């Protein structure tokens, strides 16, 4: 009889050890509450906070289309991101086609944990109900540098519109492209003041 009890105790201990290995408990005293660990739960937060994004010179080319006519144009778009919360972001988009046709829209977007991006650009007025959608990827280099690669198409009526793929890169005061926005011969603040 004691032999059976001993086997039961040994099996119970083995099961407890196996469970503990698969489900480790971290003691409260060893829990780290640093900003670094908290932000690691959302690796993209620092990419968005109070950020401004632009089209770099190598991807300014876009195409206007109207029926069967296709016209190459220069498309500089600036995004000013005003908020970010757990994969969702909002802001405003400012676009200049050939440094003459101007368009301002609001944007709302999402980014998945894998970096897949979907953005809707909308006018914010009841008189214009057309939407522009963009898809792409948010990439973060090992250095921490963030960038988008995006595609969008503004065709609303099946006859005319604009198509553009581009990188979007962040800029801040003092950066070369902040002071000389590609395709515009202006600084970012001067560009935004047109709208």
- Domain positions in the chain: 45-193
| DSSP assigned state of 44 | T
Radius of gyration of the chain (CA): 25
State the pairing for strand pair 88-97/116-122.
unpaired
50: three-class secondary structure by DSSP: coil
Whole-structure pTM value = 0.77
> What integer pLDDT is reported at residue 124 of this predicted model?
81
> What integer pLDDT is reported at residue 195 of this predicted model?
94
Q: Where are the beta strands (DSSP E) in 31-68?
A: 52-54, 61-66
CA-to-CA separations, 163 to 49, 76, 103, 117, in angstroms, rounded = 28, 13, 15, 17
> What integer pLDDT is reported at residue 27 of this predicted model?
36
Among 3.40.710.10, 2.40.128.420, 1.10.3720.10, 3.50.50.60, what is the CATH number of 45-193? 2.40.128.420
Contact 70, 64 (CB under 8 A): yes
147: closest CA among 113, 192, 117? 117
pLDDT averaged over consecutive 10-residue blocks of the chain (195 residues)?
A: 48 44 38 40 85 98 94 98 96 96 96 96 79 95 92 85 96 97 97 97
Contacts of 13 (CB under 8 A, 6+ apart): none
């Amino acid at each position: 009889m004691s032999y059976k009890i001993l086997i039961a105790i040994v099996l119970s201990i083995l099961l407890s050890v196996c469970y503990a290995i698969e489900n480790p408990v971290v003691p409260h005293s060893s829990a780290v509450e640093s900003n670094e660990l908290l932000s690691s739960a959302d690796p993209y937060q620092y990419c968005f906070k109070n950020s401004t994004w632009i089209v770099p010179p190598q991807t300014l080319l876009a195409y206007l289309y109207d029926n069967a006519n296709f016209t190459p144009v220069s498309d500089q778009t600036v995004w000013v991101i005003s908020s970010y919360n757990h994969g969702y972001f909002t802001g405003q988009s400012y676009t200049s086609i050939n440094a003459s046709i101007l368009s301002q829209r609001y944007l709302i977007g999402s980014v998945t944990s894998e970096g897949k991006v979907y953005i809707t650009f909308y006018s914010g007025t009841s008189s214009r109900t057309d939407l522009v959608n963009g898809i792409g990827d948010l990439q973060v280099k090992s250095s921490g540098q963030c960038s988008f690669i995006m595609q969008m198409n503004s065709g609303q009526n099946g006859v005319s519109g604009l198509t553009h793929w581009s990188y979007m890169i962040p800029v801040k005061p003092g950066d070369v492209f902040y002071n000389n926005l590609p395709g515009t011969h202006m600084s970012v603040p001067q560009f935004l003041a047109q709208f």
